[in-house]
Amino acid sequence: MIKTPILLNSAEAEIIRVLKKKHVISRTDILDFSGWSKAKVSQEVRSILDKGYLVEVEDGVSQGGRKPRMMRFNANLGYVVGIDLGATSVEVALADAVGTIVQRVAEPADVHQPAEEVFGRCTELILGLLDLQGCQIDQVLGIGVGVPGPVDFSRGVLVAPPLMPDWENFPIRSFFKKTFPTAFVVVDNDVNLMALGESRYGEALGVDHFLFVKIGTGIGGGIFSNGKIHRGNNGCAGDIGHICVDKNGPICRCGNRGCLEAMAAGPAIIQAGLQAVQNGESELLQQMIESNEGVLTPEMISSACREGDEAALRIIRASGQMIGDVLASLVNFFNPSHIFIGGGISNFGNHLLVAIRRAVLRRSLPLATTHLQINFSRIGSDVGIYGVLALVLDYLFVDEEKPFLSV
């Protein structure tokens, strides 16, 4: 069971809840939101200011009378750490208690290494950031870890992760607790966290039902249902990369044939590009490869698309169509109002998006697509780190009666 780090009584929790909607609030804001009497608001605000959770900032603008005395969350209460671990890179951010990033660092990582090593390196990176910020270890209130695999959220461990099978059951929470004993540690799947980031800081703000689709080396999905992350029974909900699109397709790393991931994700696109060059279908790509030591990258295919290279366009459109066909099924099933596309491959630009949209519209029920919007995530590559910070902050200040805030 996760131990909650900072317990709030229900009145304090109510104020924190207001703070999650408006970042700077007056006593009158709390009055309106909570339905409390002026007297109670006054008293509770004094109490929470005394405890140091809130601090006063400069007065707001007058609405025709006395200026409101604005307050915000006390950013100096401590720091939170967000770790966004991808298949090939890791990003670590140090943020204040409001979630504003004050220090960050990214570097390549290899999840095929043992978990001890990778998380050990994360620990070093955190310590480095703390040092830069001049911050003590016991000032770290919480650490959030996003990992590229299925997570048993309540236990905080990976379960049967295809990318790094050896990490199964590695005790991530206690590993970080060793170095940061005062910190509270949460672990979640990286795509869930991207969805959370989008729902807090992106266009999914206030959206109840949406999907976040990450297209990169693999393809993953994050699901929001009724305003909350849907993690499923084993924490592996959203794993759309291994949905079958062609029973006779190539063998996927999961062992099955014709998985979406094996046919439409980064490696498959590269493979198709190389094949096209071999077949002499694209002189442009051939030149690009030759001037890059024989290596083809997604960025190169992307730029070939922009140049109007037919072979590159065909590959991207085919990929988009396969992804769109799968999404069409999921749209019928789940009826989201938005689908956000993110991840490394998403910068292929409009060709990919148009192909996805077209496939979804063609194969979904009209009703399900009536108000459906399919777009790239505008936040970009930071969505994951924002999401993981949001998750930590959600769980950091928690009502004593409801230890697990809805996410």
Q: Name the residues that contact a second copy, by CB under 8 A.
A: 150, 159-160, 162, 208-209, 221, 223, 225-226, 228, 230-240, 242-244, 254, 256, 325-326, 328-330, 332-337, 363, 365-368, 370-372
- Within 8 A by CB and 6+ apart from 315, the residues are 269, 272, 273, 276, 301
Phi-psi region of 33 (alpha: psi -120 to 50; beta: other; left: phi over 0): alpha
Which of the listed partners (a second copy, DNA, none) does 63 bind, with a CB threshold of 5 to 8 Å by partner kind? DNA
CA–CA distances in Å: residue 284 to residues 150, 266, 309, 347: 39, 19, 7, 19
Which of the listed partners (a second copy, DNA, none) does 243 bind, with a CB threshold of 5 to 8 Å by partner kind? a second copy
Residue 45 Cβ vs DNA, minimum distance, rounded to whole Å = 6
CA distance 156 to 333: 29
Q: Which of 43, 234, 287, 370 binds DNA (CB under 7 A)?
A: 43
Residue 402 Cβ vs DNA, minimum distance, rounded to whole Å = 16
For residue 143, list its beta bridge partners: 81, 185
Give exposure, 232-256, as e/b (b: 16+ Cβ within 10 Å): eeebbbbbbbbbebeeebeebeeee
**Under the criterion CB under 7 A, does residue 26 sit at the interface with DNA?**
yes
Mark the segment that binds DNA (CB under 7 A) among 35-43, 88-96, 153-161, 323-331.
Answer: 35-43
Strand duo 151-152 + 157-158: pairing: antiparallel
Mark the segment that binds DNA (CB under 7 A) among 21-29, 151-159, 258-266, 270-278.
Answer: 21-29
Nearer to a second copy, 154 or 287 (CB): 154
Q: How buried is 352 (Cβ within 10 angstroms: 0-12 exposed, 13-18 middle, 19+ buried)? A: buried
Residue type, 94: L
Q: Where are the alpha helices (DSSP H) in 307-382?
A: 310-334, 350-363
Which of the listed partners (a second copy, DNA, none) does 370 bind, with a CB threshold of 5 to 8 Å by partner kind? a second copy
Segment 314-373, which members bind DNA (CB under 7 A)? none
Mark the segment that binds DNA (CB under 7 A) among 59-67, 203-211, 316-324, 350-358.
Answer: 59-67
Nearer to a second copy, 74 or 335 (CB): 335
Nearer to DNA, 38 or 228 (CB): 38
Which of the listed partners (a second copy, DNA, none) does 39 bind, with a CB threshold of 5 to 8 Å by partner kind? DNA
Backbone angles phi, psi at 288, to 5 degrees: -60, -45
Which of the listed partners (a second copy, DNA, none) does 399 bind, with a CB threshold of 5 to 8 Å by partner kind? none
Q: Which of 45, 237, 265, 322 binds DNA (CB under 7 A)?
A: 45
**Under the criterion CB under 7 A, does residue 375 sit at the interface with DNA?**
no
- Give the per-residue SS3 of 234-266: CCCCCCHHHCECCCCCCECCCCCECEHHHHHCH
- Within 8 A by CB and 6+ apart from 30, the residues are 14, 15, 18, 36, 41, 44, 45
Asked if residue 94 lies in contact with residue 103, where contact means CB atoms within 8 angstroms, the answer is yes
Q: How buried is 60 (Cβ within 10 angstroms: 0-12 exposed, 13-18 middle, 19+ buried)? A: middle
Mark the segment that binds DNA (CB under 7 A) among 63-71, 112-120, 131-139, 278-286.
Answer: 63-71
Residue 236 Cβ vs DNA, minimum distance, rounded to whole Å = 42
Q: Which of 3, 50, 58, 66 binds DNA (CB under 7 A)?
A: 66
Q: Which of 6, 8, 11, 374 binds DNA (CB under 7 A)?
A: 11
Q: Which residues bind DNA (CB under 7 A)?
A: 11, 26-28, 36-43, 45-46, 59, 62-70
